[in-house]
Amino acid sequence: MSDLGRTITLTVNGERVTRRVEPRQHLIDFLRLALELTGSHVGCEHGVCGACTVVVDGEIVRGCLVLAVQADGAVVETIEGLSERGALADLQAAFHARNALQCGYCTAGMLITADALLRVQPDVDRAAIRSFISGNFCRCTGYHAIVDAIEAVARARREAAKESAGR
């Protein structure tokens, strides 16, 4: 660690974390290397592929484009935390049921992105799903099964919301 290191404190998956980091270290490397949260992946390292997608203060970001020091004071959620609290359980089940993953390299980022879409746009159609996930590259599946899975969850979430509103 150089003299330029800086101490940051942030909340990651509900736990407060304080670490000294290099100013140039990206958030995704901090999460993977310092905290051993390796569920999010690193692909292109320049903001194109979406493999490094995580949630910072409620918004999806590319962990390779954010410096760890910029996340000082933030609330960060990764695939590990989101999975543990069941936030993605329906999407995970749908991806599994429809073979929407093969190697799995894109999957953490894809699930987090899909969940972000369904939270802001529950009434989404296939074209909107394709457009929203266009920044998340999958080199294996051809995307069709991914869109099927997200569409099925969108429908199920809408039905569940309708049911609970009618009670």
The binding site for ligand FES (CB under 6 A) comprises 42-45, 47-52, 62, 64, 101-107, 138-141
Helix (H) or strand (E) holding 15: strand 15-21
Helix axes 89-97, 107-120, angle to 10 degrees: 120
Q: Which is nearer to ligand FES, 64 or 74 (CB)?
A: 64
CA–CA dist 70, 74 (Å, integer): 8
Question: For residues 5 and 33, which CB has a smaller minimum distance to ligand FES in the complex?
Answer: 33
- Return the number of the residue (20 or 144) whose C-beta is nearest ligand FES: 144
> What is the closest distance, in whole angstroms, from the C-beta atom of residue 63 to ligand FES in the complex?
6
Contact 145, 126 (CB under 8 A): no
Tokens matching residue 27: 């958030």
Which residue, 2 or 56, is less far from ligand FES as judged by CB? 56
> What's the closest the beta carbon of residue 46 comes to ligand FES, in angstroms?
7
Least distance in angstroms from the C-beta of 48 to ligand FES:
5
